[in-house]
Each structure stands twice: as structure tokens, then as C-alpha cells.
Amino acid sequence: MKRNLLCMTAPVREGFDIPCHEIGPNAAHPAVALVAGLHGDEINGVFILSRLADFLNKVEAGAYPELKLVKRVLIIPAVNVLGVNLRTRTWPFDKSDINRMFPGSTMGETTQRIAYAVLEATKRAEYRIDIHTASTDFEEVPQVRLYGPSAAERKTAHLFGLPAIMERSLSPVFTTTMMYSWKVWPGESFVLRVGQGGTVQLEHCQRTFRAMVSFLGRIGVLEGVQISVEDEEICCFDKPSAFRVFAEKAGTFVSDRQVGRWVRAGQELGFIYDSFNGSVIEKVVAPVAGLLSGIRRHPLLFEGDLILRVNRKGL
């Protein structure tokens, strides 16, 4: 069932709303709340959640007789609706970042009102998941991000079956994010970071879609899911395990490496070319052996730009 979380007016166009899917048995609060598109340019998450809504609606309609949705799921494929349509990360009118407007307010700025409506709809769910991508310049392996997690969240994070779980402290810098506001409430909260902004990466999306379905199966919200045993191990990485390579020279960076692959220390991962005369000015190599968890995709490098990140295993 489609519901509007919030209906608002606009200066000269028609009013707009933020629609969500509510699927499964009626309940005072959803068991699972899934959110994407807080940033309008993070299309992977919007695509994954819209496809998941289609799938769960078909489950409800009886298209998969072996599956049964036994608890309510709330899905908001895109919070920044206008940002998706206009391809902007932020709220297009005042360029504010909706994920810096939480917990929001009913009386404040437009984006604070949006944040408030999203928080109200999601905060009482047992499991809350916010899907992001990296920026439009960078690609991340599909991963679970934990911010100052509880023991239960650390355990539950494995249920997605995604290849990497990254743990970070809950810095005060995140105070105005949705994740931070969620953590005030009982229940468990997760951020998924999937691929690169500004595009749909089918392989990452399919993998994350399967992860979401597996997750819903394992937590008992979707009954009848046949979970295939992934042959790839799940690795947990803390911040000290991350080794970043920054550009010592400006230029054009080119790499055909894929994220999510294991690399050797010293392995060549790409080259920086002089953008004017075309000569190779630097070979970029893996700083340590580990998982290539993120790599730059926009070729033009300023001096100092982040080129890649390798996470060392087993620290």
C-alpha cells in the first residue's frame, strides 16, 4: 500500500509528497523500516528499494506461494524526491543536506519538516536500514556500516551476508544524521553503503537486493526464503584496518580494478597520467594486502584526493 509521509506545497509548481510503501500485516509500527535517497544522487539505493517493494508487493499478491510476509515492512525508496528528479544530492531549493537536518521539526525549515516526517515513520521499527552510496566520484563495495554499534547490531550485521562490515565510532559530527536520531530509540540501526553515486550499478544492486531478502528471511519477517550459503566470507573491519591512498600528484587517474577483490601489497591498481602531456606520472599500488573496498571513479584528480582504500584483514 502506498501512503504519503508528508504533503507539502511548492512556490510555483504543484504540491509534492514523499510516498512510501507499507507492505505486510497491519501493525502499529513496522518491524522493518528501509530508507534510501536521503541524498538525491544516490540512485543505487532508490533502485534497490523500489525493486524490493515490487518484490514484496508481489509476495503479498500471492505471486510466490512459498513466501509469506509475516510482519510489516515500511519502504521509502527516496526521501529527497525533488533531488532525485533534478539529480542533486541536496534539497534543490536551499541546497541543504537532508541527512544533516535530523531529528527535524514540524515548525522549522522545509528539510527539517521532511526529516521529522521520515523519523516519525521509521523510529519505532525493530530494524532500521538506511541505504547510501559513496559520492559520484567514488565506488564502495556493498557493505554494512555500523556506527557505535550495540552487541546485538554487531551480530545482526552478519545476517545481510554482504562481504564487508565496517565499524565506525558515532562521532558528534553525525549528531544531525538520521542514523544518530534512530539510535536514541530501541531497536537496531544499520547503514548500507553500496557502490557509487549518480548511477545504477546492476551487480551491486542485485547483490544488495539478495542481501535484503536474506536479511528479511533470517530475522523472520519473510517466511520461506531459501537462503543460499554464500561461499564468500564476511569480513569485519574497524577503522584502523583501513589504509587509504591519497594522490600525491594531480592528473588523470585510470584504473580497471573492481571493488570487492583481494589485492596484494604493492599490486598495481592504476596509473596517474599528466592530463596535458599524457605521460605516466605515478603508478598507484596497494599499500597493504587486503580487500579493495573503495576506489576512485572520477578520473580527474586534485593533489590530495582519495584514490582508494584497502582494508587489511584480521587485525
Enumerate binding residues for other proteins (CB under 8 A).
8-12, 89, 93-95, 100, 107-113, 135, 172-173, 175-176, 246, 249-252, 275-276, 300-306
- Residue closer to other proteins, measured from CB, 51 or 113: 113
Q: In whole angstroms, how close is the CB of 33 to other proteins at the nearest point?
A: 23
Q: In whole angstroms, how close is the CB of 218 to other proteins at the nearest point?
A: 35
- Residue closer to other proteins, measured from CB, 78 or 115: 115
3-state helix, strand, coil in the chain (%, to 5): 25, 30, 45
Mapping DSSP onto H, E and C, the string for 233-244 reads CCEEECHHHEEE
DSSP 150-168: -HHHHHHGGGG--SEEEEE
Amino acid at 110: T
CA 121/CA 131 separation, integer angstroms? 16
CA 176/CA 43 separation, integer angstroms? 22
Bridge partners (DSSP) of residue 301 are 251
- Residue closer to other proteins, measured from CB, 89 or 297: 89
- Residue closer to other proteins, measured from CB, 135 or 208: 135
DSSP 79-141: S-HHHHHHT-SS-TTT---GGGSTT--SSS-HHHHHHHHHHHHHTT-SEEEEEE---TTEEEE
Q: In whole angstroms, how close is the CB of 62 to other proteins at the nearest point?
A: 41
Upstream peptide bond of 65 is cis (omega within 30 degrees of 0): no
- Which secondary-structure segment (H or E) carries 179? helix 178-182
Q: In whole angstroms, how close is the CB of 90 to other proteins at the nearest point?
A: 8
- Residue closer to other proteins, measured from CB, 113 or 312: 113
Q: In whole angstroms, how close is the CB of 269 to other proteins at the nearest point?
A: 18
Strand 300-301 to 127-132 pairing: unpaired
- Residue closer to other proteins, measured from CB, 169 or 275: 275
CA 223/CA 33 separation, integer angstroms? 18
Q: In whole angstroms, how close is the CB of 167 to other proteins at the nearest point?
A: 21
- Residue closer to other proteins, measured from CB, 6 or 192: 6
Q: In whole angstroms, how close is the CB of 240 to other proteins at the nearest point?
A: 16
Whether residue 282 contacts residue 246, with contact meaning beta carbons closer than 8 Å, is answered with no
Q: In whole angstroms, how close is the CB of 93 to other proteins at the nearest point?
A: 6
Whether residue 241 contacts residue 290, with contact meaning beta carbons closer than 8 Å, is answered with yes
- Residue closer to other proteins, measured from CB, 89 or 183: 89
